[in-house]
Amino acid sequence: MTNKNFGWHKAWRRDEQGHLVHTSGLRFLVTHGAGFVDLETDDASMAIFQARETSRGVPVHQLVERVQRLTKEAQMFIAKNKSS
């Protein structure tokens, strides 16, 4: 059997600039530094994410929790795909 976290990485892809994009529309700008990686949400994609999630019936007060979860997933995606 698989757990609820099986296949989470399939919802992520990299765009042409190497930034991370989730199927929800949320885009993380990826900046590589000396031994670290910074993630920053793209403002335009945040509006798309909010509209998509609220249209699915997600209450506004849960959006912050979802962004936090997606940020953790983005960090895990980068850690698992270090060669990129």
pLDDT digits 0-9 by tens, 23-45: 999 999 998 888 888 999 989 99
Give the structural domain span for 51: 10-77
Q: Is residue 24 part of a domain?
A: yes
Phi, psi of 20 (to 5 degrees): -95, 135
Tokens describing residue 67: 């962004």
Q: Is residue 2 part of a domain?
A: no
Total domains, the chain: 1
pLDDT band at 81 (very low <50, low <70, confident <90, very high): confident
Residue 2, pLDDT score: 47
User: pTM of the entire structure?
Assistant: 0.82
d(CA 13, CA 59): 26
Q: Is residue 4 part of a domain?
A: no
